[in-house]
């Protein structure tokens, strides 16, 4: 009994140390490339704000660049493009960095998913998109309070491309490609919004 009791504080200490390490790593990865994530980087003026209509499956196929992603500048053309996709919203949760983290799936290929994220407006001062971030977060919060429908909520998501560091997030693309920041989320009630049915050949834009 004495031996078992003496192990309890040691196990508790290991758990505490593991949690400290976990949250430290989560904070580190969450804040990598922070200016690019929040549209507060010096190269945000290069983002073309005419949306490219595409699909979740196409975005998932975007290859990761060979060079490492710079901390505060964008990788063209992927991170200078605004994408618009019809999708199914699978999950929603908050992050330690206060981003609203969403996983969306391709309606025609539900196993194909990517991560998209909406910054907290307070974390993106000077981006010029603070109001749009607030509206998108409010819409998601209001529309996902009830039980999730089978297959997820039908949505149309508009956001800027972004290469995140791959840290094994559920639903993430293998390349780490996301829409981050998301500037608009529209819930599709069957009456719209209409975005067309053409898949843009984004692979040819390199």
pLDDT in tens, 128-137: 999 999 999 9
Asked whether residue 64 carries a pLDDT value surpassing 50, the answer given is: yes
Residues 6+ apart with CB under 8 A from 13: none
Query: What does the buried/exposed string (b/e) look like for 23-59 if buried means 16 or more CB atoms within 10 Å of the residue's CB?
Result: eeeeeebbeebbbbbbbbbebbeebeeebbbbbbbbb
pLDDT > 90: percent of the chain? 63
Helix (H, G, I), strand (E, B) or coil at 6: helix
Q: Confidence class of residue 67 from pLDDT cuts 50, 70 and 90?
A: confident
Cα separation of 65 and 55, whole Å?
A: 20
pTM across the whole model: 0.79
Is 159 or 166 the better-scoring residue by pLDDT? Answer: 159
pLDDT in tens, 19-62: 444 444 444 455 568 999 999 999 999 999 999 999 999 999 99
CA 94 to chain centre: 11
Q: Are 180 and 124 in contact (CB under 8 A)?
A: no
Provide the mean pLDDT of the chain: 83
Task: Name residue, tokens 């989560």.
Answer: 26
Q: Confidence class of residue 82 from pLDDT cuts 50, 70 and 90?
A: very high
Asked whether residue 108 carries a pLDDT value surpassing 90, the answer given is: yes
Architecture of domain 33-205: Beta Barrel (2.40)
Q: What is the pLDDT of residue 22?
A: 40
Residues 6+ apart with CB under 8 A from 5: none
């Amino acid at each position: 009994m004495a031996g078992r009791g003496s192990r309890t504080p040691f196990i508790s200490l290991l758990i505490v140390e593991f949690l400290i390490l976990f949250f430290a790593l989560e904070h580190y990865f969450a804040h990598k490339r922070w200016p690019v994530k929040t549209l507060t980087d010096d190269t945000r003026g290069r983002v073309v704000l005419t949306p490219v209509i595409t699909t979740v499956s196409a975005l998932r196929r975007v290859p990761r660049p060979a060079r490492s992603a710079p901390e505060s500048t964008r990788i063209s053309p992927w991170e200078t493009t605004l994408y618009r996709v019809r999708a199914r919203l699978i999950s929603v949760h908050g992050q330690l960095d206060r981003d609203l983290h969403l996983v969306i799936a391709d309606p025609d290929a539900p196993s194909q998913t990517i991560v998209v994220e909406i910054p907290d407006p307070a974390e993106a001062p000077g981006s010029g998109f603070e109001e749009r971030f607030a509206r998108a977060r409010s819409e998601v919060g209001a529309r996902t309070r009830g039980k999730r429908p089978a297959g997820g909520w039908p949505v149309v998501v508009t956001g800027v491309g972004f290469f995140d560091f791959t840290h094994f997030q559920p639903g993430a693309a293998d390349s780490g490609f996301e829409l981050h920041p998301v500037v608009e989320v529209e819930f599709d009630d069957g009456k719209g919004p209409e975005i067309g049915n053409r898949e843009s050949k984004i692979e040819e834009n390199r």
